[in-house]
Amino acid sequence: MSSPGGRPPSGASRYQPLRRIRTLVENHRARRAPASIANGPPADTRADTATRSLHLLSYNIQAGIAGGSRYRDYLTQSWQHLLPSSQRMGNLDRIARLITRFDIVGLQEIDAGSLRSGFVNQAEYLALRAGFPNWHHQLNRDLGKFAKHSNGLLSRYRPTTIDNHRLPGLIPGRGVLSATFGTPPDTLLLLIVHLALGRRARRLQLAYITELARDHPHVIVMGDLNSPLRQWQDVGPLRELELHSPAQDLPTFPSWRPQRGIDHILVGPTLHVDHVSTLQCDYSDHLPISMEVRIPASIALGPRPNTVM
């Protein structure tokens, strides 16, 4: 089983002014323990010229609760956020089949093993069912036996490091899961995020993410940003990283009638995007977003393991 990585800074869960974001990040780096890496074959540190394309997926799976067909279903299905459902495992199996063809999957709103999920760690379950040799979960909001709100990473390539960060905000429980691939100086930084609902809190959280990624040559940010990119295109802190997506604000929410583009995959200027799209399915109240991206051959990912089903 995967275990959490470094310890977050003690003050990161409290609301912080922008000028203290850099201090939060530096404190985290100074105090973090050695990162944990999920089971899988050791990374090959040699540059693999055949591995130039990555298939990415970001998906908010709503703890395995299938998407409804109208907003009132949030009320009628609300009990599934606290109690187990006989339909949940079947829905997770459908998600596993969907994600099998991808190289790296970032998950939001997974449950790390509580009453509502039948005490199943959903990151581990999906990794096993979809044949991913490496997986990790980041526990952000622990409600004991009732719910364990988490982010998750599934990867066919073994990360060099994995780390967990708590994001600043008035209400604790938001985080960013960071993973690096390859060896310095050509490392790929992946950040999986689920941002706050409030715009001011999101601004602080994006500033924290900017500080995390500032010194990395190749960056991918994916997740549920709870906002369209146009809010940050010209004035947001992510502009400093020159992150972009060629298809901005693809509608991902709600899945039964997508109107809002709040789920994104963003890449830095050293990475080339070949394709980006949403996948039409009703396995959650969000649609997954996929991207095919080309990375420099100097990033030593190692050989891609075969999918095991």
Q: Is the per-residue pLDDT at 108 higher than 60?
A: yes
- Establish whether the linkage from the previous residue to 254 is cis, with ω within 30° of 0: yes
Which residues, 6 or more positions from 218, have their beta carbon under 8 angstroms from its beta carbon?
A: 186, 187, 188, 189, 268, 270, 271, 295, 296, 299
More confident residue, 234 or 105: 105
Q: Which of 105-114, 213-222, 293-302 has the lowest mean pLDDT?
A: 293-302
Q: What is the pLDDT of the chain when averaged over all its residues?
A: 83
Q: Is the per-residue pLDDT at 222 higher than 70?
A: yes
Q: Which of 43-47, 55-59, 115-119 has the lowest mean pLDDT?
A: 43-47
Interhelix angle 88-99/122-130, nearest 10 degrees: 50
pLDDT band at 18 (very low <50, low <70, confident <90, very high): low
Q: What is the pLDDT of residues 85-96, one digit of tens each?
A: 888 999 999 999
Q: Where are the domains of the chain?
A: 18-32+44-294
Cα–Cα distance measured from residue 218 to residue 186, given in angstroms and rounded to the nearest whole number:
8
Cα–Cα distance measured from residue 20 to residue 238, given in angstroms and rounded to the nearest whole number:
17
pTM of the model: 0.84
pLDDT band at 1 (very low <50, low <70, confident <90, very high): very low
Please, which residues bridge with residue 292 across strands?
55, 275
Q: Which of 79-93, 98-112, 295-309 has the lowest mean pLDDT?
A: 295-309
pLDDT band at 306 (very low <50, low <70, confident <90, very high): low
Q: What is the pLDDT of residues 146-177, one digit of tens each?
A: 999 999 999 999 999 999 999 998 888 999 99
Over range 12-17, report the average pLDDT: 40
pLDDT band at 230 (very low <50, low <70, confident <90, very high): confident
State the architecture of 18-32+44-294 in CATH terms: 4-Layer Sandwich (3.60)
Q: Is the per-residue pLDDT at 14 higher than 50?
A: no
The shares of helix, strand and coil residues in the chain, as percent rounded to the nearest 5, are 25, 25, 50
Q: What is the pLDDT of residues 175-190, one digit of tens each?
A: 999 999 999 889 999 9
Considering Cα of 118, then 124, then 126, then 128, what sign does the dihedral take?
A: negative
Predicted confidence at residue 26, as pLDDT, reads 66
Tokens found for residue 50? 């055949």
